[in-house]
Homo-oligomer: A and B are copies of this chain.
Amino acid sequence: MEPRRLEEACIKCKDRCCARCFDDGDENIFSCLTTDELEMLVKEKRHVVFNAGETILKQNTSASHVVCIKRGLAKIIAEGESDKKLILRLVANHAILTGGGIFIDEIRHFTVQAVTQVECCFIDSEKIYELVSNNSRFAFELLKLNNQQNIQMLNNLVGITQKYMPGRVSDLLLYLKNEIFLSNPFDTRLSRQELADMTGMTMESFIRILKEFKSSGIIAVDGANIHVLDEEALQMISRKG
């Protein structure tokens, strides 16, 4: 199957692939929808595949759609002045991306870019509004999602402002291992620059910390493949700052 490009309508979705996709898991904010609501949600959605490196959502564009990631890995980037970038977090499987400005200014406050090939659905924001209006459990779920992101960002903010680089790198490694890849030698698919952009430091500094960890026997590194050998140590370093 060849990777397809932008904006192919999800014709094959007659099999309700999305409905099923949106169904599974307890974490799923769509699990509270009735079949009718799910049908409505899915009806006019657009199923799109992005190749690695492609931009899924662009910061500062208007936000008329919500995106659900069905497969693949993407990075959320806050673009600052000049060329500075901060990667806020990675998103995988069933993540929902509202662009940050939904309900307010309808502007996207960050860019989302595919790390691997990403299969996702574009859903009209109107549908989300409609669901919030008609299904209070859904509103609840959305609030929950929002708050989770808020807390994650708060922790990020505190970590980045209060920890030295080794602590931040530890946090990143633990995050990748335990929250994103869920396996131990894990293949980040990310360049050193991108990893550095997740910690708010320069690539060179990041590489140096990584090297220290490597020579201390805390991790093993082979290219983009990282193996955490001593998680305790990482946690210690994370705590110590």
Contact = CB atoms under 8 A, between A and B. Distances in A.
B143 A100 contact: no
A60 to B, nearest CB: 12
A40 interface: no
A103 B140 contact: yes
Interface string A98-139: 101111100001100000000000000000010011101001
Interface stretch (A13-21, A67-75, A146-154, A223-231): A146-154
Contacts of A129: 140
Interface residues of A, number: 42
Given A132-B136, A136-B132, A153-B150, A143 B78 contact: no
Interface string A226-239: 00000000000001
Q: Identify which of A148, A156, A162, A241 gathers the most chain B CB atoms within 10 Å of its CB.
A: A162
Contact of A150 (B136, B140, B142, B149): B149
Interface in A8-39: none
A200 B132 contact: no
B157 A104 contact: no
A202 to B, nearest CB: 12
A181 to B, nearest CB: 24
A147 B100 contact: yes
A134 B136 CA distance: 7
Interface stretch (A79-87, A172-180, A204-212): A79-87
A1 interface: no
Given A132-B139, A133-B136, 20 more contacts: A78-B154, A86-B157, A86-B158, A100-B147, A101-B147, A103-B140, A103-B144, A103-B147, A110-B154, A132-B143, A133-B140, A139-B139, A139-B143, A142-B143, A149-B150, A150-B153, A156-B157, A157-B160, A160-B160, A161-B200
A148 B105 CA distance: 9
B136 A80 contact: no
A149 B143 CA distance: 13
B162 A161 contact: no
